[in-house]
Structure 1
Amino acid sequence: MRTRTVLQATILLAIASVWSPAHALTQEELVAKIQAAGYSQVSDIKSTAEGTTAKAMKNGKPVTLVVDSSGQIKERN
C-alpha cells in the first residue's frame, strides 16, 4: 500500500512539474517568440489575469498582444 501511495505521489509531482509556471517563458524568449510570429518593436510587457500582454508593431501598425498560458499569441481589439 505504501509503495502505491509513493508511486501516485511521484506521478502527481511529475504531472505538476510539466504544468508548473517554472516552465514559463523568460522575457527574452517571449520577445523572440513574438518576433518570430512577425511582430517588431515589442515593448510594455506585463503579466495580467488573461495572460502576458505586450505592445508591438505589425505591418507598420501598432497592436496590443496577449500571449496565453499555452503560448498562443492573439491580437487584442
Structure 2
Amino acid sequence: MSTRTIFQMVLWCLMIFGIFSPAHALTQDELVAKLEAAGYSQVRDIKSTAEGISVKATKDGKDISLVVDSSGQVKERK
C-alpha cells in the first residue's frame, strides 16, 4: 500500500471514532459558555452571518461586538 492510502485510512478511522473531526458548529449554550470563560458577560444578539456568528457582549464594562468563525476563533470587531 502507498503512504497516501495508509494516511487516508488512518485519517478516516480517526474521524469515524471522533478523535479528529473537522470544525463543528457550537451550540448557542456552548458559544455563551466559551465567551463567558473568555471574560465576556451579557452575551446577546447572537446571529448567523457570512463571517460566522455575530455576537454582542460586555467585557470590562464596555459593550463589544464579536464574530466567532467556523473554527471557534473569537474576534472583536472594531
TM-score range, shorter chain: 0.7 to 0.9
2:77 alignment partner in structure 1: 76
State TM-score, norm by structure 2. 0.72
Higher strand share: 1
Stretches (4+) displaced over 3 A: none
Structure 1 unaligned regions, length at least 5: none
Considering Cα pairs closer than 8 Å and 6+ residues apart, tell me whether 1 or 2 has the greater RCO.
2
RMSD: 2.3
What percentage of residue pairs aligned between the two structures are identical? 65
Residue 18 of structure 1, CA deviation: 2.5
Higher helix share: 1
Structure 2 unaligned regions, length at least 5: none
State TM-score, norm by structure 1. 0.73
Q: Aligned partners of 1:70 and 1:24: how far apart in 2?
A: 8
